[in-house]
Amino acid sequence: MVTLVDGSEISFQEYFVKHQHSVAVSNVRFAGASTASALGLDTLLSAQTVVIAPSNPLVSIAPLRALHGVDAALTKRRESVVAISPIIAGAALKGPADRLMTELGHESSVVGVAKLYAPICGTLIIDTADAHLAPKVEAEGMRCVIVDTVMSTPEKSQHLARTTLESSR
């Protein structure tokens, strides 16, 4: 559910489709997450590497993290968890991640992403456009890998995938 700044609540579908994520938000909550079961926790714990895709940390990744046991499992194996920042130069390539981060009190930058993921993730991959912020990411207790994260060609996508997997070793 999405709480708008006027206090009313709408479904995420309504927020995203009907309003095209154009209305200001004060909260996002995941109804049912506390009672849902997180299938696959054994796999999450036994995988060589866990990759958090460059998706919206607040409405794509947070619902998974809200499931019972997921954050604890990721924290337990934090050093082999790698995330790719969905924010480049303060903006999302697609969707409302940057605006939602700001509206919900987070910095819309790779540093804001690092603060959200630091408890569960040992490495954050950031775009070359944000190289100057690497020390701030590292100050959050994460390794920082700088690479072109815009997957505009198959070759760039392959390079990002290789870099991501290699950075967890």
Q: Same domain for 86 and 141?
A: yes
Q: Same domain for 8 and 45?
A: no
Q: Same domain for 79 and 18?
A: no
Work out how many domains the chain is built from and give that number. 2
Do residues 82 and 50 make contact, with C-beta atoms less than 8 angstroms apart? yes
pLDDT greater than 90 at residue 37? no
Residue 99 is encoded by which pair of tokens? 């605006």
Q: Same domain for 15 and 51?
A: no
Nearest alpha carbon to residue 111 among 96, 126, 122: 126
Point out which residues pair with 34 in neighbouring strands: none
d(CA 90, CA 110): 7
Q: What is the pTM of this model?
A: 0.91
Q: Same domain for 59 and 93?
A: yes
Q: What is the pLDDT of residues 4-31, one digit of tens each?
A: 999 999 998 999 899 998 999 999 988 8
- Tell me the CA distances in angstroms from 167 to 96, 120, 164, one per residue in order: 28, 16, 5
Residue 34 is predicted with a pLDDT of: 78
Q: Same domain for 109 and 41?
A: yes
d(CA 27, CA 112): 17
Q: Same domain for 91 and 106?
A: yes
* Across 40-62, average pLDDT: 93
Q: Same domain for 52 and 3?
A: no
Which amino acid, one-letter code, is at 91?
A
CATH of the domain at 157: 3.40.50.10680
* Across 43-72, average pLDDT: 94
Length of the chain: 169
d(CA 74, CA 15): 29
Place of tokens 């920082």: 144
Sorting pLDDT into bands at 50, 70 and 90, what band is 36?
confident
Which structural domain, as residue segments, surrounds residue 27?
A: 1-31
**Rounded to the nearest 5°, which phi and psi values hold at 66?**
-75, -15
